[in-house]
Amino acid sequence: MIRNFLKKNNLLCSLFFFPFIYLLGWVLISLLIRAFPFLESDKSLNGTIITFLIFLCLLPFWSSHRWGKNLSKLLGIKNLSDKKILTSNILEILKALIIISAFIFILIKGEFVLFQINLNVKIVLNSLFLAFFVGIAEELVFRVWLFEELNLFIKSSRANIYQAILFSLVHFRSDFDLLSNIQLLLGLFILGLYLNTWRLIQKPTILSPIFFHGSLVGVWFFVTNSLMIVNQNIPNLLFGPGEGINFNPVGGLIGIFILLLLYYFQKRYLLRSRF
């Protein structure tokens, strides 16, 4: 009965899934604050974490009854023993580290940064939180849930494009000007394409995009917050919109060029692997 309801109400289920769990998360955090007042200081963050936990609890059920798929197979967990996938996961971490290293090298050569060690426990914990939470949460939401929902209505090739568009649009910054937002959305769009294309191979896995995304976000936060000071006169067109350490390299021309190269060689690899 539940599966028939989900199938018959395709669009409504897609549109109201996240508003429903966000509302449920808001209700739960409001109740928890009454019992644990210290949660009030970070109500938005704590509410987001609770909403994500609700999402994780619902995902196996949703995958089975909505998409008719086994979640562990869908995520590529059953393929963990495959040496190719293990190698791919390690390579994604190395790619992220190489990209960050190359970016820092360019910043140093351009004399846009100064090294200053500011290492503390809070920065380390925040870096780990970003690496794991952002990496896992965004990949499960956009590359799994959104992609599979779009697959109910359109072909996978188009679904891949639309998930990347929506992934970029939700990162729109109202405090950025038009040009900065265009840069940022373009970079995130290409990043979304690159991350999801790994799920179009013969043995798809969500772990490779999680490792790349998580390493990119976590390591970049750690480096910019603990090891260097960014000059205020940094060219945002080249290095990305934002000020000081808060600039986003994904939206700079250098970052966009690197992402385009990654996506280009990834597509070539996938084409070769099909023959």
Residue 150: the pLDDT is: 93
Last residue of a domain, one of 68, 91, 118: 68
241 in the same domain as 106: yes
Reported for 52-58, long-range contacts at CB under 8 A and 24+ positions apart, including other chains, are 52/133, 52/137, 54/21, 54/24, 54/25, 54/28, 55/21, 55/140, 55/141, 55/145, 56/140, 58/21
Q: Tell me: do 152 and 263 sit in the same domain.
A: yes
pLDDT at 178: 92
Query: What pLDDT, on a 0 to 100 scale, did the predictor assign at position 17?
Result: 92
Yes or no: say if 213 and 139 are a contact pair by the CB < 8 Å rule.
yes
Residue whose pair of structure tokens reads 């909403």 in the numeric block: 51
Q: Helix crossing, 178-197 with 207-226: angle to 10°?
A: 140
- pLDDT, tens digit, 9 for 90 and up, residues 116-169: 888 888 899 999 999 988 889 999 999 999 999 999 999 988 999 999 999 999
Q: Tell me: do 83 and 202 sit in the same domain.
A: yes
How confident is residue 5, by pLDDT bands cut at 50, 70 and 90?
low
Question: 68, 96, 112: which is the final residue of a domain?
Answer: 68
- For residues 104 and 56, membership in a common domain is answered with no
The reply to whether 4 and 115 lie within a common domain is no
Domain total of the chain: 2
Which of 155-159, 256-260, 268-272 holds the top average pLDDT? Answer: 256-260
Residues 55 and 85 in one domain: no
On average, the pLDDT of the chain sits at 86
pLDDT at position 271: 58
Question: What band does 2 get if pLDDT is binned at 50, 70 and 90?
Answer: low
Tokens of 140: 């499960």
Alpha-carbon torsion (109, 112, 118, 119), positive or negative: negative
Q: Does 158 lie in the same domain as 56?
A: no
Rounded CA separation 35/262 (Å): 48
Of 68, 97, 121, which residue constitutes the final position of a domain? 68
pLDDT of residue 78: 65
Residue 218 and residue 139 share a domain: yes
Do 140 and 245 sit in the same domain of this protein? Answer: yes
Question: What pLDDT does 275 receive?
Answer: 40
Q: Does one domain contain both 29 and 78?
A: no
Q: pLDDT tens across 26-80, in order?
A: 999 999 998 888 888 888 888 889 999 999 999 999 998 888 888 888 887 766 6
Judgement on whether residues 143 and 174 belong to the same structural domain of the protein = yes
Instruction: Say what the pLDDT of residue 167 is.
Output: 96
The domain in which residue 103 lies consists of 72-273
What is the percent of the chain with per-residue pLDDT over 70, rounded to a whole number? 91
Same domain for 107 and 60: no
